[in-house]
Chains A and B, each alone.
Chain A
Amino acid sequence: MHPAYSVILFTTASGAGYGLLALLGLVGFNHGRASSLWFGGTALVIALGLITLGLLSSTFHLGRPERAWRAFSQWRSSWLSREGVASVITFAPALVFGALWLGFLDEPRWLGLAGLATVLMCAVTVFCTAKIYSTLTTIRQWHQPLTVPVYLAFALATGAVLLMAIASVFGLYQIFQAGLAVVALVLTLVLKILYWRGIDSDPKTRTIEAATGLARQGEKVRQWEVPHTAENFIMKEMGFVVARKHAEKLRRTVMILLVLAILATVLTIPSATLAIPFSVLAFLLAAAAAAVERWLFFAEAQHVVSLYYGTERA
């Protein structure tokens, strides 16, 4: 599948944003009001900014961005529509939570509830995003049980590292932030490795013979003539598959970046002065891992329509 940069930016940026926002909601639920207005305000602005940036960039790949509002209408059947609705609804508890957490509204008893509602809506939105992909039966590499957990794990991990980085910049670094980031990063790495093992061991059962229905008695079917002289939309959008050896290299890149992010996170623990550079470094590494992983998620995905264009198995 063609990896559209706007979609990669959208899913990774909004993923980190929702991860951070959800963790802020948990912090608010657990600790009450933000200890520092500057830290709380900055963290909230970054979280909501990443989410908004992601949502805006997702409209760039639309042919008719001015009609994007129509995408809120079909939540009964479409995960894409549900994602749109969830993403907008999330702003309501998030803004109420933000006002309570930063002390602009003085209703402490509602703070915990608003925080939990924010956490829930962040999780729901990322869940809907992942469901768009995992429900497509036409793409074997996406129609996998681990697609949704990996999306959620990346959102949590990038959000956790970002929370640690912002907190350390404001002198509010605490070891539990690093601990949480390590756990989330390790979880992400394990889930992604399991996902890759899953798609590698999953037999490619769909064949050109089955797609064309032309092999009744064990014949072999081969593409003899393509239907058009230049690439068409189907080949550009669905025909993009990264070469196997490049995929291997990129998988290793993702794993190395995640391991380095874990190491950088661990290195924030011994020294308070090094917490800032290492936590920022950890975030950059985790963000790079997420971007490469998301690119690969598209590039490794093979659409069943490729069988009609001569692929033997998909």
Chain B
Amino acid sequence: MTSLPTPSSNQKKLGLVIDLDTCVGCQACATSCKEWNTQGYSAPLNDRQAYSASPEGTWLNRIHGYEVKAPEDEQSRIVHFPRSCLHCEEPACVTVCPTGASYKRAEDGIVLVNPETCIGCKLCSWACPYGAREYDYDHGVMKKCTLCVDRIYNDNFAVEDRVPACVKACPTGARHFGDLGDAESKVSRLVAERGGYDLLPEMGYKPVNKYLPPRKRSSEKMKATPSEPETMSEGKSRVDDFFRWADRLLSR
């Protein structure tokens, strides 16, 4: 049923918290996602002209890069920006679905597509502001992030492996998985501490996934002024004092 489930009072909201400060844009999460999901739920994820000049395919996670620059900044800042399904609380992608193939799970809020009933009308992808849904041209159905629903509840895995493939793969720990409906959870505390934000909150989709903003850089590092002569700095040790004295002596 594509009508949304009524949220309970302590609704579980599984989702991701993505730290834009530590993401290095290595694409490990994207490739790991592709690798896991091409054999898991809704598999396979198609590739087209994989060995030609213009290979393309269905991916559930895409890593953008943005340049951020204020007028007074001399240097711009590059931010790597992973983009995948945000498992919104008000997902219009679900309510527009004519077949019931798209649905939001009542128990944990994960938004899924049933590949057995999807007719491939693509309307859900039109309704998503975040570009989270990608159509699979070979199989004629819509694909999207499953939050690795076939990993996170998988009893065959060690407990520490019961996280989405992207989270498991991230080498810098920029991706965090947890229950954002529980204010005391690790991810919720992280969001509170770091000022985690929603993408396009004014659109009213109420994304569950949160983004942690890049930390502010110290203004000195941003300025391309020539470094001060060594002699101006304060000595930290006698060795420093010795070199400063030697520097002064030799500078004469």
Contacts and interface: CB of A to CB of B under 8 A. Distances in A.
Given A63-B141, A132-B96, A211-B200, 19 more contacts: A62-B140, A63-B140, A65-B119, A70-B100, A73-B98, A74-B1, A77-B4, A80-B123, A138-B126, A212-B79, A214-B66, A214-B213, A214-B214, A217-B70, A227-B83, A228-B56, A230-B56, A234-B134, A308-B130
Interface stretch (B57-65, B156-164, B170-178, B237-245): B57-65
A81 B200 CA distance: 28
Contacts of B200: 206, 210-211, 304
A303 interface: yes
B134 A216 contact: no
A309 B102 CA distance: 25
A237 B68 CA distance: 27
B248 interface: no
A91 to B, nearest CB: 18
Contacts of A61: 121-122
Interface in B85-139: 92, 94-101, 117-123, 125-131, 134-137, 139
B43 interface: no
Q: Main SS of chain B's interface residues?
A: loop
Contacts of A222: 66-67, 69
A195 B155 CA distance: 56
A64 B55 contact: no
Given A218-B70, A304-B200, A305-B129, A80 B121 contact: yes
Interface string A53-70: 000000001111101101
Given A63-B139, A228-B62, A305 B100 contact: no
A64 B119 contact: yes
A220 B97 contact: no
A224 interface: yes
B199 interface: yes
Q: Among the interface residues A61, A227, A228, which one has the most CB atoms of the partner chain B within 10 A?
A: A227
Interface residues of B, number: 69
Q: Which 6 A-B pairs have the closest CB atoms?
A: A63-B120, A63-B140, A225-B65, A81-B98, A305-B131, A227-B62
A169 interface: no
15 contacts: A63-B122, A67-B119, A76-B2, A79-B96, A136-B126, A137-B203, A213-B197, A219-B73, A221-B67, A227-B63, A230-B54, A232-B59, A233-B125, A234-B125, A238-B126
Nearest to A225: B65
Nearest to B134: A233
B211 interface: yes
B192 interface: no
A231 interface: yes
A165 to B, nearest CB: 33
Contacts of B71: 218, 220
Interface string A224-262: 111111111110011000000000000000000000000
Contacts of B127: 136, 138
A228 B34 CA distance: 13
